[in-house]
């Protein structure tokens, strides 16, 4: 099985433009997450979804939006990109709504540069 896929692998985006980062999982996991990873900082949660049809804000949600129309897909949209959104973005999923010791499985990441 593919696990979690993300697209694109990398992207250079002009400031002010919008973009959607795609994430798809085939493990039928209830919970999905979007993180950003910046040098010298830990992974920071942007948005999450405990189950299809629901979403929640993480630590750094400003400038980002998500939707969870079905179990498999969890796209992340930047409505108007700014240079501070330059980062590596990881999508992850876990079973059981994230509770207990359920590990999170990560996609390969999207490297985004905003100029």
Partner 1 sequence: GQNIDQPTEMTATEGAIVQINCTYQTSGFNGLFWYQQHAGEAPTFLSYNVLDGLEEKGRFSSFLSRSKGYSYLLLKELQMKDSASYLCAGMDSNYQLIWGAGTKLIIKP
C-beta closer to partner 1: residue 17 or 59? 59
Place of tokens 């994430």: 23
Least gap, CB of 81 to partner 1 (angstroms): 23
Least gap, CB of 57 to partner 1 (angstroms): 11
Least gap, CB of 17 to partner 1 (angstroms): 25
Q: Report how far residue 85's alpha carbon sits from residue 80's, in angstroms, rounded to the nearest whole number.
A: 10
C-beta closer to partner 1: residue 19 or 48? 48
Q: Report how far residue 12's alpha carbon sits from residue 107's, in angstroms, rounded to the nearest whole number.
A: 19
Torsion angle in degrees (nearest 10) through CA of 82, 70, 31, 67: 20
Interface residues toward partner 1, by CB under 8 A: 35, 40-45, 48, 58, 90, 97-101, 103-109
């Amino acid at each position: 099985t593919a696990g979690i896929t993300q697209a694109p692998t990398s992207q250079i985006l002009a400031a002010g433009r919008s973009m959607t980062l795609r994430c798809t999982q085939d493990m039928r996991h209830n919970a999905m997450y979007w993180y950003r990873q910046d040098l010298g900082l830990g992974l920071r949660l942007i948005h999450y979804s405990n189950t299809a049809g629901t979403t929640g804000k993480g630590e750094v949600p400003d400038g980002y939006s998500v939707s969870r129309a079905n179990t498999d897909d969890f796209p992340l949209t930047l409505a108007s990109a700014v240079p501070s959104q330059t980062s590596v973005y990881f999508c992850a999923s876990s079973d059981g709504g994230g509770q207990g010791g359920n590990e999170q499985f990560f996609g390969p990441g999207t490297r985004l540069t905003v100029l």
